Structure formats: structure tokens, C-alpha cells
Amino acid sequence: MDHTTLLRSMNYATRRSFMTAAAKACLGVSVLAMPSIVRAADEQVAAAAKGAGKAKSVIYLYMAGGMSHIDTWDPKPGTEGAGEFDPIKTSAPGVMIGEHLPLMAKQMDQCALIRSLNSKVGEHQRANYMMHTSYLPLGTARHPGLGPWVLRLAGRTNANLPGSVIVGRGGLGSGSGFLGTEYEPLLIGKAQDGLANINRPGMITEEQFEQRMSLLDKLDADFRKTYQTRGVQGYNEFYAEARRMMHSTDVEAFNLAKEDDATREKYGSDPFGQGCLLARRLVQHGVRFVEVALGGWDTHADNFDRVEELCNKLDKGMAALIADLRERGLLESTLVVLTSEFGRTPRINADRNNGRDHHPKAFSGILAGGGVKGGQVWGKSDKAGNQVDSDGVSIPDFNSTIAYALGVDHEKKLKAKDGRPFTLGNEGKPLVKLF
């Protein structure tokens, strides 16, 4: 029985004492963030009725820059903008994808391919922000990203690790926004490097470190007692969390060296592939939301050379991830998401060595695992891949579907500092038929 299922079977008081006792037993330290974890778990129980709720974790693969849908997931052979790539068959009957995704072609029976994503936002920053938050940026309120939203609504399952992690360069709206620092994702620059500064300084023994800590607590006691602002308490909490992490064996989740060479190889040696592997390890350790970014899709020039190169990385990492999760029996409880801020134009710019420009009117995304039925295609773009033909999916719809898979309430209103209420889904409708 995993944490969440166990939690659901208990009443509030039992859950709370269980969590606290468990944390104390594991860590020997007090757990400051615990009440919020329990509170969130409560809300999740309430929300479970709302969605499919099979997914416990999300691995969110973000293709930064705008992934060309025609050259990847929505090929348009025979049209003027078809480009240089041929479509290939996949393990999902009748579903064809771009030729540079041969490994993913074998996994398409596990995936729901959405070909009717669309928005009106064709500018990177705003589109990127919207994809992560369901809203356009506002000057008055910073919206939380999906990871922090999920964490706030579904809670953590492992108090020793951050609930939300970003590997690589995170999206613009991936921060905790108005939810506050408690929900801020942990940033890992490069998967291979693991978690920076997790070990105490080399010359210092465990005992000496503890002495330093107690010296610190003594010298800072007056200040912390006097100033109990949210900002100061944020640091108190994060120092406590950092120490928990330092002492926890769960931190091994960040160490890719624990994987054998063959596995590491399978994912691809580049940061994205290794990021996918890290995501799997983190999910195994109960991290709720892991974003892995692959940048470079802004192919205004040299579209075909660059997309081929990017596809090689994406194909290896994502296909290995899905296969691996499946083999380990984790795919049912892990939703794998692939998306980008927009697609790219059917029109090819010959004068920029065959580039494609921003195109938000129709683009593609993928959902796999977490209770989503594989081998299906949702929505259609028109003949040229220019507009959505049927079953259009807005960004709020897409994000609401992610929430639905987790059993998280996409309509739950939370107020920003200025008092305006926002939801995870921004009035989107989940695609319940995918499940």
C-alpha cells in the first residue's frame, strides 16, 4: 500500500499522527511542513471523486521553444508544408508519426496523442507561462505552475524530498506563484550533477556539523523569536527541509550513479535523457511532479536539421522512460506528459534555410500512463496542420486533464494576494474520455 492510499483509508487525526510519527521515526527531526501536507492530503481525498485519480505522480516533458508538430506528431504528407520527413507506422494501429521518432513509434500503444491543442498566444514568454499556469501573465498576480498547484492540492507523499522538481531550465510559469515558497519546485540544473551542495563541507564531520547547527540556532534564536514573519519562517522551514534531505537516504534518488550503465545508456547520455531517468527515480521516491525540459525547438532557421537532432534526444529519453515505467509497474500511477508552448507553421521559410515560425493555432501533445488509455488519438488538425479541425483542446483543457488524472480538483479556487480567485484549470474541461 503506498502512502496516499494508506492516507485515504484513515481519518484526519489518525493520518496526522501517522505522518508525524512516520516522519519522526525516519528522520529524528521535527517536521515543520507537516500540517500543510496533511491538509493537502485531506483535500485530495475530497477531490478524488472528481477525477480518475489513478495517477500519483506526473513527469512533465517540456519542449521549450515551440515544437514543430508537423515534423513530429502530426505529419502532413503530400501537403506543401509537409517538410523533409516521412511519416512512419507506430504500435498504435493507424497512427503515423515523424520518422525521427522510431523508438516512440513502438510506445504509441501506451500513449494518447492529442493533435488539436491550440491557443492564441504566439509569443514564447506568454505562451510558456500559460502552458504552465493555464493563465496569461498578469502584472497583479503571479500564478502558480502545475507542479506547485498539484503539490498544494494533492500534498506530498515523501516529507524527505521536495514534492516538485524541475530538471533543466524550467518554464517561466513553473514557480510557486501566490501559493508561497512552501511549494516552490527544487531546481536541478543538470541531471548528471545531482543535487548541488547536498553533502556537508568535506572537512567537517557529522558531529562537527551538528555542533555548528546548534551554534547557529543559539546565535539566531533571538532574531527568530522576535521576527516571525512569513519570510523568516520560510527560511526556518527550508533549512529544516534541507537538513532532512541531507540526512535522508531518499536523497539517493538524485544520484544517477546508482543506476547501471545499460539503463543510463538506454535513456540517452544527454541531459534530457538523463533527466528522464532522474524523473523516474524521483517518482519512485514519491516526488509528485517532475518537469524535464528540452530546449532548442525555436527553429526559425534550419528547422529540419535541428528538429532531427532534437527528436533523437526526445525519442530516446521519452521512449525509455515509458518502457521503463511500464516494466516496473509504475506507468499506471505515473502520468507522462509531453508538451510545448506552441507548434510551428506549415509554411517553410526557404530564405532562412527552411525554418518554421511560431504557430499556436494547432499543435500536439501526449499523455501516457496514469490511467490514460493508450493507442488513441484525440482531435484533428486540418489538412495542412494549420488549424484545428475537430475536438479542439485548449491549454486550460489540457491542464485540467492532468489534474483529472491525479484526482485533483481543477476547479478548486485559491486566492492570490490581491484577493482574486484562480483555479488550476482556468475553466478548462478535462478530457475524461481519454481514461
CB of 339 to other proteins, least distance (A): 20
CB of 144 to other proteins, least distance (A): 12
CB of 165 to other proteins, least distance (A): 10
The residue (of 1 and 219) whose beta carbon lies closer to other proteins is: 219
The residue (of 16 and 285) whose beta carbon lies closer to other proteins is: 285
**Exposure string (b/e) for 160-193, b if CB count within 10 Å is 16 or more?**
bbbbbbbbbebbbbbbbbbbeebbbbbbbeebbe
CA distance 221 to 257: 39
CB of 15 to other proteins, least distance (A): 25
CB of 414 to other proteins, least distance (A): 17
Question: Among residues 142, 153, 98, which one has the least CA distance to residue 366?
Answer: 98
- 340 CB-near residues (< 8 Å, 6+ apart): 62, 63, 64, 65, 66, 67, 131, 297, 363, 365
The residue (of 89 and 212) whose beta carbon lies closer to other proteins is: 212
CB of 138 to other proteins, least distance (A): 8
| Angle subtended by helix axes 271-284 and 303-327, to nearest 10 | 20
The residue (of 86 and 210) whose beta carbon lies closer to other proteins is: 210
The residue (of 12 and 235) whose beta carbon lies closer to other proteins is: 235
CB of 206 to other proteins, least distance (A): 13
**Exposure string (b/e) for 375-385, b if CB count within 10 Å is 16 or more?**
bbbbbebeebb
The residue (of 11 and 226) whose beta carbon lies closer to other proteins is: 226
Strands 289-294 and 164-167: parallel
Beta bridge partners of 93: none
The residue (of 218 and 350) whose beta carbon lies closer to other proteins is: 218
CA distances from 373 to 108, 114, 117, 132, 410 (A): 11, 12, 18, 24, 21
The residue (of 222 and 261) whose beta carbon lies closer to other proteins is: 222
The residue (of 14 and 211) whose beta carbon lies closer to other proteins is: 211
Query: Where would I find the beta strands (DSSP E) of 168-257?
Result: 186-188
SS3 407: coil
CB of 202 to other proteins, least distance (A): 10
Residue 426 neighbours by CB distance under 10 Å:
20
CB of 143 to other proteins, least distance (A): 13
CB of 32 to other proteins, least distance (A): 12
Residues that bind other proteins (CB under 8 A): 120, 123, 125, 136-140, 162, 169, 172, 175-176, 180-181, 184, 186-187, 189-190, 193-201, 208, 211-212, 215-216, 218-220, 222-224, 226-232, 234-239, 241-242, 245-246
Strands 111-118 and 363-368: antiparallel
For residue 419, count CB atoms less than 10 angstroms from its CB and return exposed for 0-12, middle for 13-18, buried for 19 or more: exposed
* Per-position DSSP letters for 200-219, written without gaps between them: PPTT--HHHHHHHHHHHHHH
Percent helix, strand, coil in the chain (nearest 5)? 40, 15, 40
The residue (of 17 and 228) whose beta carbon lies closer to other proteins is: 228
CA distances from 185 to 146, 150, 151, 167, 341 (A): 10, 11, 10, 10, 20
